[in-house]
Chain A
Amino acid sequence: MLWLALRFPRLAVETWSLPPLAVATQHGRVVALDEAAAAAGVRPGMRLASALGLAPGLAHRERDPARETAALARLACWAGQFTPQVSLAPPDELLLEIGGCLRLFGGGPALLARIQASCAQQGHTHRAGLAPTPLAAQWLARGAASAILPDGLDSAGLAQAIAPLPLAVLALPERATARLATLGARHLGDLLALPRAGLARRFGPELPLALAWALGELPDPRRPFIFPEEFRDGLELPARIEDAARLLFAARRLVAALGGWLAVRCAGIQRCHLVLVHEDQAPSRLELGFASPTRDPQRLQRVLRERLERHALAAPVVGLGLEAPDPSPLPGASIPMFGQGGAARLAPVVERLRARLGAEAIHGLAAVADHRPELASRPTPEPIPLACPPPAGPRPLWLLPAPRALAEERGAPHHGGRLQLLTRAERIESGWWDGGEGPGDARRDYFVATNPRGEWLWVFRDGQGWWLHGLFA
């Protein structure tokens, strides 16, 4: 077992997605602050009035525990892309059991680099700790900046590794910390050197129990996070947004969570809905479509961008939701063989084209066994191998959407000059059964013809005269 603890020390303020220089407050005091506020001299525990004195432009919001819980659950979904075993450690920590999947991600440092990049993209600050027991990992995440302990450490080795951590990582009550300080204990090493029985008598049984959990002497089971059956997540925006392009930035956390949730379920989506919540209107829903099932957050993000850039907002947006109603199974990717990768590489491009040009602008073509030329070629959403017997006569590459009437002079059709007919008539007589639908009943004699300009045309004659129907390009 190897546990990765991720701590989000600024979660209380980051969950509001405010511009830099922001704090979260509780009972009039600062409890969490962002980097810009820290640089301005604001410290946790400071009164809001003093903080505003230091940084007049400071944005502040009252801390919202429900919002933080939702944010932590969203992060747990996101963490599903790394491991299926995730535990919540409220208020601001996640525990990931990664012993089984470390190799998949190329070792601890590579995994931490990936987590770092993904957190930065979502606008979350984090600290990481990696240790064989969950509690030691949490303490490392609270103490040092991103500490990694090797797997398979025994209790003595673990004790040595966590000894330099300050006592603050235990999150003990103020009084207990002060009493430990009077005993001369400032680091975990000092505490571990004291006899456990005496610690239990002075500070209650919890402290020696915690030490035993951290060192792996007693089991420390954690309740696993249950991934929801259905992905339906939403968030409130910090301000009214009137420009669709800015929504993309706000939606990035939802997209990251969806990606992780799909990875846990070994699923992909071919469509999902982005719900835009308006102030006094019914919410608008944007459908996002994908050419093949996917769970790649980059791909989701790209399609979302194309879609949002084209969308004109009906009203300012105050909330966002993301729903993935029908995930389909998507096993892990295998390396393409014999060029099948072409279609896979093309799929993201097809999605981008569809998002910008409209879904029906990109299509395949199927040949249909119908004698009437108008019905013999049909667009299909996906190219499908559809075999069909070849037609009786020559067929042009370009077929006009509707036949064009030709002028007639002395019994011969004209189009850029007098047409010379090159083939015998090909009689097409079909469709008497669907009168009124499409071309309906057709009775025509088709010819290949050329004109003095060198064009090769497909013309036909029916009861009403001569018509141009195609070009042999």
Chain B
Amino acid sequence: MTAPATTLLQRLQRTDLWSGAHLAVPPVPGLASGFTALDAALPGGGWPRGELTELFPARPGIGEFSLLLPALARLTAEEGWIAVVAPPWPLHAPAWQAAGLPLARLLMVRARGQEAAWACEQLLASGALAALLAWLPQADGRQLRRLQLAASHHPGPAWLFRPADQAGTASPAPLRLALAPAPGGLAVTLLKRRGPPLARPLVLTVQRPAASTRRPSSTPLAAPQATPVY
């Protein structure tokens, strides 16, 4: 009597509907994360653009930032600047440079609490950023909804780092990942995505300072790009 759900969806051809068994297809393809296993698990084949992504690291220093470095290195000068809002500690410029990221397109914003959320909203609404990274330990549901709305003007990914104990609270972000240390890398649990739940965490080999040898290694992730002059 009724057509199978997949056929119906194929006929509907809508991007905002997806069946529980399949990944959603967002209107804009995602930004490749640099990890094949992760790209396969994310709707759109990468970090979503124009939407919030929440990251819940179990502890700082487990490679939560390194997870994003390959994606950040893919952003080109044409796409704009990268804003880092309210980081827990000062960002170390030589490390940023060693990861193949241009310092000339990095914008640091120091703010606390409500002000940090406000700054994120302003930056996202401008639509002029390539990517946003923000640490919002005190953000509540109302602020997150405002940020998710503002992110619709934003052409790139917007990553919010939040404390692991808030992973259980409700959030409008369509993608939420919990990060934990694992032998040989970083265990990524997909708490929420537009698609079927993923039973097992993905273990990704993120860049670690001396994972392979005891010899100090300074190989950058990508060749340093020519930096534009402003």
Where the two chains meet, the residues of A that have a C-beta atom closer than 8 Å to any C-beta of B are 338-339, 341-343, 345-346, 348-350, 352-353, 356-357, 360-368, 373, 376-379, 382-388, 390-401, 422-424, 426, 448, 453-458, 470-473
Contact = CB atoms under 8 A, between A and B. Distances in A.
A367 B103 contact: yes
Contacts of A360: 110
Contact of B104 (A362, A385, A392, A397): A385
B51 interface: no
B105 A383 contact: yes
A377 B91 contact: yes
B77 interface: yes
A384 B216 CA distance: 29
A456 B92 contact: no
A395 B220 CA distance: 11
B138 interface: no
Contact of A361 (B61, B62, B66, B111): B111
B129 interface: yes
**Contact-size category for B:** 35 or more
B61 A365 contact: no
B78 interface: yes
B61 A401 contact: no
Nearest to B99: A397
Interface in B106-144: 106-111, 115, 118-119, 122-123, 126-130
Contact of B115 (A339, A346, A356, A456): A356
A343 B63 CA distance: 30
Contacts of A352: 122
Given A377-B94, A385-B227, A456 B111 contact: no
B217 A376 contact: no
A60 B205 CA distance: 78
A366 B107 contact: no
Contacts of B103: 364-367, 383-386
A352 B103 CA distance: 22
B94 A367 contact: yes
A342 B218 contact: no
6 contacts: A385-B229, A396-B95, A455-B62, A471-B61, A472-B209, A473-B66
Given A343-B81, A377-B94, A391-B98, A423 B128 contact: no
Given A397-B96, A456-B62, A456-B208, A379 B108 contact: yes
Given A357-B109, A362-B108, A346 B92 contact: no
Nearest to A453: B59
Contacts of B59: 453-455
**Which 10 A-B residue pairings sit nearest by Cβ, starting from the closest?**
A454-B181, A342-B80, A339-B78, A394-B209, A471-B61, A377-B93, A473-B65, A345-B128, A385-B104, A455-B61
A372 to B, nearest CB: 11
Nearest to B186: A454
Given A346-B81, A394-B98, A473-B66, 15 more contacts: A342-B81, A348-B126, A365-B93, A366-B103, A383-B230, A394-B210, A395-B95, A397-B66, A398-B65, A399-B92, A423-B216, A454-B62, A456-B62, A456-B63, A473-B63
B88 interface: yes
Given A397-B65, A400-B89, A454-B180, A423 B210 contact: yes
Contact of A367 (B58, B97, B129, B180): B97
Interface in B41-93: 58-66, 77-81, 87-93
A379 B215 CA distance: 31
Contacts of A400: 89
A307 B220 CA distance: 43
A423 B212 CA distance: 10
A418 to B, nearest CB: 16
A401 B216 contact: no
B214 interface: yes
B79 A392 contact: no
B61 A457 contact: yes
A366 B181 contact: no
A357 B106 contact: no
Contact of B80 (A339, A353, A386, A394): A339
A395 B209 CA distance: 8
A365 B216 contact: no
A456 to B, nearest CB: 6
Nearest to B208: A456
A317 to B, nearest CB: 27
A279 to B, nearest CB: 34
B78 A338 contact: yes
Contacts of B92: 373, 376-377, 395-399, 470
Nearest to A421: B214
